[in-house]
């Protein structure tokens, strides 16, 4: 027996498919949305569509941005010879919040995970190697300290080593399995300063 209308069930299903939203939260959100004024719901729907249609990859570092080149890559005051490799745009934002990192980034959009069937070809790795043809003095690997992050770090290290470019790994002061974005700025900076050569 359907307790709710078909439309509400559909909405709950869609919301429950989002990361971090369980069945209960999905229900709560669905009813909240239904009770919201029409114009607010329209604005929310439009905001989602606009973001989806207008956000793209930076042509240099592949972070998500509104422009051809993201603000970090467009900033000539940044050290464009130092590239920090992160798993996603949220990790980039976490390092940017510290305000202490002066280099640029490379966003992989994932990590290698044999268990989930994610291989080197599924993340922005080719794009990183291509960037190394330019003037690069150091690549800092700042993937998470999860199994996937470590696997990815090792893989990239092996790939870059023969090129003679300095390649470093951030210190493992970062809690195991902890997403970079949840780690406080002091810990992030300590991990960055304590990086070791691979
Ligand atoms: Zn960029």
DSSP 24-84: HHHHHHHHHHHHS-HHHHHHHHHHHHHHHHH-EE-TTT--EESSSS-HHHH-TTSEEEEEE
Domain-ending residue, one of 17, 36, 54: 54
Whether 170 maps to a domain, the answer reads yes
**134-182 confidence digits (pLDDT tens):** 999 999 999 988 899 999 999 999 999 999 999 999 987 555 455 666 6
Dist. CA 57 → ligand 1 center (Å)? 8
Residues 46 and 71 in one domain: no
State how many domains the chain has: 2
Q: Report the alpha-carbon angle 84-189-71, nearest 5.
A: 45
Dist. CA 152 → ligand 1 center (Å)? 21
**89-114 confidence digits (pLDDT tens):** 999 998 998 898 999 999 999 999 98
CA distance 22 to 48: 20
Dist. CA 64 → ligand 1 center (Å)? 8
Residues 95 and 192 in one domain: yes
Residues 80 and 151 in one domain: yes
Dist. CA 96 → ligand 1 center (Å)? 12
| Beta strands 196-197 and 166-169, pairing class | antiparallel
Whether 38 maps to a domain, the answer reads yes
Q: The domain containing residue 92 runs over which residues? A: 64-197
Q: Is 30 helix (H, G, I), strand (E, B) or coil?
A: helix
Residues 83 and 181 in one domain: yes
pTM for the whole thing?
A: 0.79
Dist. CA 173 → ligand 1 center (Å)? 27
Dist. CA 109 → ligand 1 center (Å)? 13
Residue with tokens 């300290």: 145
Dist. CA 107 → ligand 1 center (Å)? 9
CA distances from 48 to 19, 37, 44, 55, 76 (A): 16, 17, 6, 11, 32
Whether 73 maps to a domain, the answer reads yes
Residues 186 and 151 in one domain: yes
- CATH code: domain of residue 24: 1.10.8.420
Whether 59 maps to a domain, the answer reads no
CA distance 175 to 23: 29
pLDDT of residue 173: 56
Dist. CA 65 → ligand 1 center (Å)? 8
CA distance 127 to 75: 20
Residues 45 and 68 in one domain: no
């Amino acid at each position: 027996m359907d307790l709710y209308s078909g439309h509400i069930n559909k909405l709950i299903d869609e919301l429950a498919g989002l990361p971090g939203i369980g069945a209960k939260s999905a229900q709560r959100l669905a009813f909240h949305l239904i009770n919201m004024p029409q114009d607010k719901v329209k604005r929310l729907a439009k905001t989602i569509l606009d973001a989806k249609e207008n956000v793209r990859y930076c042509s240099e570092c592949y972070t998500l941005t509104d422009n051809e080149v993201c603000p970090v890559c467009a900033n000539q005051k940044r050290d464009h010879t130092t590239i920090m490799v992160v798993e996603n745009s949220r990790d980039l934002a976490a390092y940017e919040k510290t305000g202490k990192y002066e280099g640029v980034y490379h966003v992989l959009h994932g990590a290698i995970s044999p268990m989930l069937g994610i291989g080197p070809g599924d993340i922005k790795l080719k794009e990183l190697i291509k960037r190394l043809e330019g003037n690069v003095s150091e690549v800092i690997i700042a993937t998470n300290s999860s199994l996937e992050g470590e696997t990815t770090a090792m893989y990239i290290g092996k790939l870059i080593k023969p090129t003679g470019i300095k390649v470093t790994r951030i210190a493992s002061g970062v809690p195991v399995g902890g997403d970079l974005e949840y780690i406080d700025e002091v810990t992030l900076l300590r991990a960055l300063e304590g990086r070791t050569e691979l």
